[in-house]
Amino acid sequence: MKTKIQYFIALGISMFMVACAHCDYSDKSKITAKLEPKSNSKVGGEIKVFENSKGQVMAKLSINGLNANAKHGFHIHENGDCSSADGKSAGGHFAPEGHNHAGPEVKMRHLGDLGNITADAEGMVNTEIEIVGANLKKGDKLSIVNRAFVVHAGADDLKTQPSGAAGKRIACAVIK
Q: Which residues are catalytic?
A: 75, 77, 93, 101, 110, 113, 152, 169
CB 77 within 8 A of CB 148: yes
d(CA 74, CA 139): 23
Q: Which residues, including other chains, have CB under 8 Å from residue 8's CB and lie 6 or more apart?
A: none
The count of residues in the chain is 176
The amino acid at residue 78 is E
CB 76 within 8 A of CB 112: yes
